Amino acid sequence: MRLSALLRGYTIALLVFLYVPLAYVVVQSFNSSRYPGTWEGFTLAWYAKLLVDAEVVRAAVNGLSVALASSAFSTLLGGVAAYYFAKKHRLGIADSFFYVPIVLPEIVEAVSLLMLYHYAGVELGFWTVLVGHTAYNISYAYVALKPQFLATSDNIEAAALTLGAKPFDVFVRVYFPLAVPGVVSSLLITFSMSFDDFIKTAFTTGPGFKTLPLVIWARAARGRATQDLNALATVMIVISLAASYVYTKQVFSRSSRR
Amino acid sequence: MSRRAPLPSALVLLAAVPLAYVLATFYLPLLVMLAESLKPQGLSLYVYVLFNPDYAAIMAYSLVLAVVTTASTFLVALPAAYYLSFHVEDEKRKSRLLAAFTVPMLVNFLLKAYALMNVLSVLGLANTYLGMVVGMVYEYLPYMLLPLFSSFERVERRLLEAAQALGARSHHTFLRVVLPLSLPGIASGVALVFLMSFTEFIVPAMLGGVYGYTMGYLIWDLFLKYRNWPVGSALAFMVTLVSLAIVYFYTRWGLGYEA
């Protein structure tokens, strides 16, 4: 029993270690002190400063548009692939094909795509970033959606066909509704992969097209933490935690239902 | 036998789109990269890169950092994963605790490194080797904890009772029953964290100061600063081969399993 108490204390301490840095940034973003550190009073000034920071607003809009487009495209394309290979019951080769982009270090993907763009003579910017993010997002969508399509049993399909549904209707009216939870997780995960992406964006973007991670990198690399950076970080942390929470909750409720 | 719907031919055509897309934007660039690395002097460039003392030193340094990171992450995650699986009885509480560990996974790497930078500088650990390793463990913890936990969950509980009934002390049970049975999860976590940490450069760059020049940083510089594409490509291609080899052996040995 003593061991159990010890392990429990350790696990709690580890969770504290995971969350304290995030909480520190959040708290400091409301601190009226010019630099992070001692508490000097509550303020929203750093958030107000963010809203009028043209570079930040621009980058937020850029990041949102790439992430929205990429999550929609990749969920569609990854979904089609997942549906097709789940139906064909031939997942071995398809799995390897789509898993490689997930396991390969991102820097490799990034530099190789940069060279392809260079030799193809493409102008770098919104489109090149979007295409790059979608390249790995299709794999994440495939992984998120495959189990959903596999879980829909052939019997349900046979029933639909017996009742006179056309094969296309089977997809739209049987498979798709049953796959909705997978579609939601796919959209969430691909959105945040794209919105948070730093390495691939850094290599495939052109002058003038920045996203928030690039702005944070450029400013944090200048040396130290600042309060408006803390405010920006807080906004992004809250968004990711919310998305992550929804996603995790869904995954857990799905696995416990099984 | 149930009747299967014939696949609509439009769908077959549609399925070709994602395949073509990934081929063109992921696999084709890898070939371009290989060609780029071979362009100036063929394979002898690889020999040059491998035996160049500067590059070799950075590779060795990154390798050591990846090993240190993987080992530390394993040791830090192990007791918590063990606790979650064997000492939390209530299923609801178990999944809540597990979720608490996994939720930060989706927070941006860069943001987490930045957040940790704040705390490390308060502690006087910013720009130290220790601070950098703390940062790596901080980022990779859930990736180790999750596979460890799920393989602990698969360990048949009756075996533990049997071991106990036969007189094994609890640490013997752990070392000789639980650990061997959890090898798939351990291998999975170790492979994953090693792969990611070998080319990691956001954390070293932000938290490591002078200790932060790793393989990932070198590749970054070779492309964006020195514009030495052939050498950068050769290094990146070697990283590709190492990564694929790890993943291949790992699945080949039957250690891979659906989480």
Domain count, chain B: 1
Q: Report the CATH number that the domain containing residue B46 is assigned in CATH.
A: 1.10.3720.10
- The pLDDT value recorded for residue A241 is 83
Q: Residue B119 and residue A24: Cβ atoms within 8 Å?
A: yes
pLDDT mean values, one per 10 residues, chain A (258 residues): 87 95 92 83 90 92 96 94 81 84 91 95 94 95 86 75 79 78 88 92 92 90 75 89 77 56
- Which of B114, B197, B198, B214 to mutate: most A Cβ within 10 Å? B114
**Min distance B179 CA to chain A CA atoms (Å):** 17
- The pLDDT value recorded for residue A251 is 67
- The pLDDT value recorded for residue A92 is 77
Residues 6+ apart with CB under 8 A from A45: A32
CA distance A190 to A196: 10
* Domain-located, residue B10: no
Assess whether pLDDT exceeds 90 at residue B184.
Answer: no
Instruction: Give residue B108's identity as a one-letter amino acid code.
Output: N
Residue with tokens 């392809």: A116
Residue with tokens 């400063």: A49
* Domain-located, residue B14: no
- The pLDDT value recorded for residue B8 is 64
**Token code pair at residue A13:** 């301490």
* Domain-located, residue B29: no
Angle value at C-alpha A62, between A58 and A63, nearest 5 degrees: 120
Mean pLDDT in chain B? 87
Question: Which among A113, A138, A192 has the least Cβ separation from residue B22?
Answer: A138
* Domain-located, residue B6: no
- The pLDDT value recorded for residue B2 is 46
Q: Judge: domain A52-257, CATH 1.10.3720.10.
A: yes
Question: Which among A77, A107, A108 has the least Cβ separation from residue B18?
Answer: A77
What residues does each domain of chain A span?
Answer: 52-257
* Domain-located, residue B30: no
What is the dihedral sign for C-alpha B214, B22, A197, A20? negative
* Domain-located, residue B110: yes
- The pLDDT value recorded for residue A14 is 95
Q: Whole-prediction pTM value?
A: 0.85
- The pLDDT value recorded for residue B252 is 67
Share of chain B above pLDDT 70, in %: 94
Helices (H), B39-123: 44-51, 53-82, 91-102, 109-123
Q: Residue B25 and residue A135: Cβ atoms within 8 Å?
A: yes
Question: Which among B104, B170, B229 has the least Cβ separation from residue A115?
Answer: B229
CA distance B65 to A165: 58
Residue with tokens 């989706």: B106
CA-nearest of B93, B116, B82, B76 to A13 is B76
* Other Cβ atoms within 10 Å of B237 Cβ, number: 21
- The pLDDT value recorded for residue A108 is 94
* Domain-located, residue B79: yes
Residue with tokens 């040791």: B75
Cβ atoms of A87 and B12 within 8 Å: the answer is: no
Give the chain B residue nearest A82 (alpha carbons). Answer: B15
- Residue B58 belongs to what domain range? 42-252
